[in-house]
Structure 1
Amino acid sequence: MGRKISSYKKGLRKRTRVILFVVIVFVIVMSIAYRRLWEKSAALQKEEAQLEQQIEKAKDKKQELKDKKEYIKTKEFIEKTAREKFGLFYPDEYVVRPSK
């Protein structure tokens, strides 16, 4: 009878070791998977921040272009362009240029 108990205890110890080994392997595999997911998450967060910056720059550029479009429609811009690029003036204006 002592042998039965002894062999039973050995079998129990063996099963316990196998189960412990499986649990340890499972924990290691899950740790590796978690680490990969964490790294991927960090990379995606970094990319998201960069995209947010690009969106903000694009919004600023859009507003700048919208303002420029409105300015181009003004009489001030038309007069300025006519004077600077085409050398045009109103009939009652005189151009005074400094002597060289």
Structure 2
Amino acid sequence: MKFETRRERETRRKRQKQSAILGMVLAFALVMIMGAVIWSGKRTLEKQNKEYQARVAQLQEQVEEQQNRSDEIDEYKKYIQTKKFAEEVAKDKFGMIYPDELVFKPEN
């Protein structure tokens, strides 16, 4: 067993104390760096979230417009299956009239 002198013991304790302080400083620096990285990532995610929310709103508006268009097309589909539509097409495109119907044409 080797005995150490007072000077060696003080030097060893001083190195241990310095090592402990250095370790705490490095740990604190690491925590600060991790905090900065997390904060930066949070800001990026918030920005992406805002962009996605705007895109969702835009897409929702498009869905509503297409639903309205679909409803209009359904109504038109029902209309073209009616007798009134057939009569209008026959009169406008083919010039057909009912046998008892009178047609007045302007003189030019």
Post-superposition offset of 1:87: 0.4
- 1:44 is matched with which residue? 52
Matched, 1:99 2:79: no
- What code does the residue aligned with 1:82 have? A
Instruction: State, as a whole percentage, how many aligned pairs show the same letter.
Output: 29
Cα distance in structure 2, aligned partners of 1:65 and 1:11: 79
- 1:75 is matched with which residue? 83
Post-superposition offset of 1:20: 0.9
- 1:66 is matched with which residue? 74
- What code does the residue aligned with 1:45 have? Q
In structure 2, runs of 5+ residues without a counterpart are 1-5
The normalised TM-score by structure 2 is: 0.81
Between 32-41 and 68-77, the greater mean CA deviation after superposition: 32-41
Cα distance in structure 2, aligned partners of 1:35 and 1:25: 15
**Quick check: which has more Rg, 1 or 2?**
2
- What code does the residue aligned with 1:92 have? D
In structure 1, runs of 5+ residues without a counterpart are none
Cα distance in structure 1, aligned partners of 2:29 and 2:15: 21
The normalised TM-score by structure 1 is: 0.86
Post-superposition offset of 1:25: 0.5
Q: Deviations over 1:33-90 (max 9, x none)?
A: 1122112212211111111111111101110000001111111111111111110000
Task: Could you list the structure 1 runs, at least 4 aligned residues long, displaced by more than 2 angstroms after superposition.
Answer: 3-13
- 2:3 is matched with which residue? none
How many pairs were matched up?
A: 100
